[in-house]
Every structure is written in C-alpha cells, then in structure tokens.
Structure 1
Amino acid sequence: MQFDSATTALVLTDPQNDFLSPDGVAWELVGKSVEKNHTVDHIEQLLASAKSGGYGVFVSPHYYFPHDHQWDFGGTLEKKMHEIGMFDRSGPLELAGFRDSGADWLDRFKPFLDDGRTVICSPHKVYGPEQNDLVLQLRKRGISKIVLAGMSANLCVESHLRELLEQGFEVAVVADATAAAQHPELGDGYEAALTNFNYIAGAVLSTEDAVEQFASQS
C-alpha cells in the first residue's frame, strides 16, 4: 500500500482517556496491553508524522449520552461499558464535565486533535462506523486509502477495518498503535485481533513503517 497525502488519511478510533489513561475506567482491562505495545507513544508518533506530511487525520470517537443508557440489550463488552460509565457525556449538545473526563482526548494528543484541521466525526455507538459520518467525511475529501489505529484492537479497530473494506477503501492497520483487553475467561483480545488483521487488512504495519511512509510519500 503506497501512501500519498491527496488520497490517504490517518483514522483513529477512540483515542480517549477511558482507554489510554491509567485513570481511565477500562485501564484494568487494557492497561497491560497498552503499555506492552507502547500504544500511546505510537499513536502520538503517527499523529506527528501524518500532520507533518500534510495527511488528513480523522477521529471516530466513542461517546455515550444519557439516552444511550436506556437500551434494552447489548453484547458482553457493550454492557460492561455502560456499567462502568465509559465514554459518558452529559448530553449531545453539552460539554459540561467533558474536559479531562474519560470521554476526552488524552492530553498528549490534544495539540494534534484540537488544531482545527482534524476531522472529528460523530460518535460510533457500538464498535463500527456504520452509525456515524466517518465514511461520508472520507468520501467528501477524496480519501480512498486508510491508515487505521487506535482502540481497541478486537472491537472498534477491527469493526472499522471490516466496514471500511466493505465500503471500498484500501486499509492498512498499524498493529502496535492499538491494544486490547486481556481477560482470564474471555481471552486476549489483542492476539485475536492480530490474527484477523493479517487475514483481512490490505497491509499490517508497524508504527515505524507507517511513519516512514508518511515522511517519504507526502
């Protein structure tokens, strides 16, 4: 997969405190994987190199509003996210209590994401981008190639990978710029995702590979 700044963009899923900060509500599940992969450092490197190379950056965030907690059913991790208040916001038209909350960006990412040029999409609600405007935003800017990273590997990243491929995009996943839950009964989500990345993605890259391409193909 060859990068070029006219048709290639970096897409990040859920670069938010609840996943990536030791104070986040999901840290007990994902923290070891985040630290092992140096996920935060790698996402920051991707952001810096994409911005420097003139590439578009798109964020598909995860927010839950009070009305989302009225759903009647959900999957295992979906229900867990609601139980622990993950990505909670006070309302879709309000920012009360948002700053530095679990739904906010990690501080290290804010200089890149709050620069006025990053495209912040509407929130996805379960795992994939079917319910938000990510595909529309990409199409409207002529993007056909995606460099995909963020959280978490076997849930939102993999779901975005599958849907973006179905929508006709060429997608490379940056395997060390993500991480996932490790659970004694449910298993290792990161290892499960790696298997599927290798089967499904157009390319599976390291952060080093992606940064090199951002620098050489801008």
Structure 2
Amino acid sequence: MLTITVLGNAVQAENSGLPDPGFEIVPGRTALLVTDPQNDFLSPDGVTWGVVGKNVEANGTVENIDKLFAAAKKAEMPVFISPHYYYPHDHGWKFEGALEALMHKIGMFDRKGPLSTENFGGSGADWLDQYKKYINDGHTVVTSPHKVYGPETNDLVLQLRKQGIDKVILAGMSANLCTESHMRELIEQGFEVMVVPDATGAAQVPGYDGFAAAVTNYRMIASHIADTEATVAAIEASSVK
C-alpha cells in the first residue's frame, strides 16, 4: 500500500505495510471540514507566516483549500468551519502550553470580544479573502471557536450530528495542531475521517517539522489520506451518482 506523495516536501510515497481502510463519500452523510482558514495562518501578512509560510507555499495549501471548497459547494456537500478566536478574557489564562503561550504573545486570532466585530474585517482572525464567497454564502456552518487545538471546546460535534454527518473530509490549519487534534477527537467520537495533507500546512523550524509529524499521524490514525486532486475528483464523482 503506497502512502501519499506531497510534492515540495520530504514526505514521499513508500511501501509502509499499513492497511488503507479507504473512504467512501456518501452524499448526505459526508461533509468537508476546514480548520482555521484564517489570515494569521494563510496570509503573508499573518503573524505565523514566518514559520508556516514556506510549508504553505510548498504544499499549495491556499489553492488546495480553495479547490476543496469549490468542489464541495458544486456538489452541494455540507461544509463546516471550525475557527480559532481569542477574546480579551482568554488572555487571563493562568497556565498555557508552549504554543498557546506563543499565540497569546503575538496576538494571534485576537478579537475585541465574542459579541463584537470591531476591527475584525481584514484582521488576522478574519477569513482569507478568497474563501469568503464560500464561507459567507449562508449555507456553510461556522461553529463556535475552539480554544486550544481540538473541537472539545466548541460545538462542532453537535453541529455535525444534527445534520446527520458521520463521515468527514478534513483540511485546514495547522497540520499537527488544530487539524490533527480535530482528526483525533472526531475519530474518538465515532466519525469516519479522511485527511487531505496538501490542503494543510504547519510550522517548520530548526529541529522540528510539524508537517512531517502530522502526515505520519494522519496515515496511522485516519481511515484514509489523499491529495487534493484525488479528493476533488472523488467529490465530483459522488455528486453524479
């Protein structure tokens, strides 16, 4: 069984010996989920670009997420967004993990408050402009924000279950943090999950490659991984059955 090849990165196809359970797109039961499609991760002006930008560009992450959005909307597949926002009261936390501390320090995903959109447009917490036509179309489900990495702190699972979704195609940012944490929790909650690695990206710093770490775990934990091209083709095929 060949693992995925992600062009532009060190992840190459190899005979892993691991089973591939596969993933069938079933209309009405399958949704696209994108984590954190926000400026602070995906725009060159975002506060994390210095550590994620190289990987995002190598993967074609921005363009690949766009292709997934477009395919899902054309196929009338439900689309869910799990965003990351921090409000002033979140900065009063008494303890944090390493990257939580960094996010708070650099003002990542900051908003004025849960009931305020003051200075939100174009901020690091806002959607990437090219995604707004998909997310703001009146049909996409935008959940309450997750606060660390996984959906345990938001209403994603409720929203999926209320729409009869039990199969999830997962993409977004950041590969080894929020995206991987969503994969793990959804699997624990009984959802079938496949991941699109080249529609994710992660920090790469000396001695640490978040993307390589994530792809290893995607392959070992998810039902299936596939690149954007193959996933879009599968979504398109599912809509004509």
Query: What's the TM-score bracket when you normalise by the shorter of the two chains?
Result: over 0.9
What displacement does 1:5 show?
2.3
Aligned partner of 2:238 in structure 1 is: 217
Aligned partner of 1:57 in structure 2 is: 79
1:143 partner SS: coil
In our comparison, the structure showing a higher alpha carbon Rg is 2
Letter in 1 for 2:155: D
1:62 partner SS: coil
Q: Deviations over 1:79-121 (max 9, x none)?
A: 1000000000000000000001000000010000000000000
Structure 2 unaligned spans of 5+: 1-22
Q: Is 2:220 aligned against 1:192? A: no
Which of 168, 176, 183 is residue 198 of structure 2 equivalent to? Answer: 176
Letter in 1 for 2:80: F
Letter in 1 for 2:214: A
Q: Deviations over 1:187-217 (max 9, x none)?
A: 0000000110110001011001110111001
Q: Deviations over 1:61-87 (max 9, x none)?
A: 000000000001111111100000000
Aligned partner of 1:72 in structure 2 is: 94
1:176 partner SS: strand
Which of 198, 202, 207 is residue 223 of structure 2 equivalent to? Answer: 202
Aligned length: 217
Distance 1:49 1:23 in 2: 27
Letter in 2 for 1:78: E
CA contact (8 A) 1:182 1:188 kept: yes
Aligned partner of 2:107 in structure 1 is: 85
Aligned partner of 1:34 in structure 2 is: 56
Which TM-score applies when normalising by structure 2?
0.89
Aligned partner of 1:164 in structure 2 is: 186
Which TM-score applies when normalising by structure 1?
0.99
CA contact (8 A) 1:5 1:56 kept: no
User: Where do 1:105-184 residues align within 5 Å?
Assistant: 105-184=127-206
1:11 partner SS: strand
Aligned partner of 2:10 in structure 1 is: none
Distance 1:8 1:199 in 2: 21
Distance 1:148 1:74 in 2: 26
Distance 1:35 1:214 in 2: 24
Aligned partner of 1:19 in structure 2 is: 41
- The alignment yields a C-alpha RMSD, in angstroms, of 0.5
CA contact (8 A) 1:29 1:183 kept: yes
User: Where do 1:90-105 residues align within 5 Å?
Assistant: 90-105=112-127
Consecutive aligned runs of 4 or more in structure 1 exceeding 2 Å deviation: none
What displacement does 1:52 show?
0.2
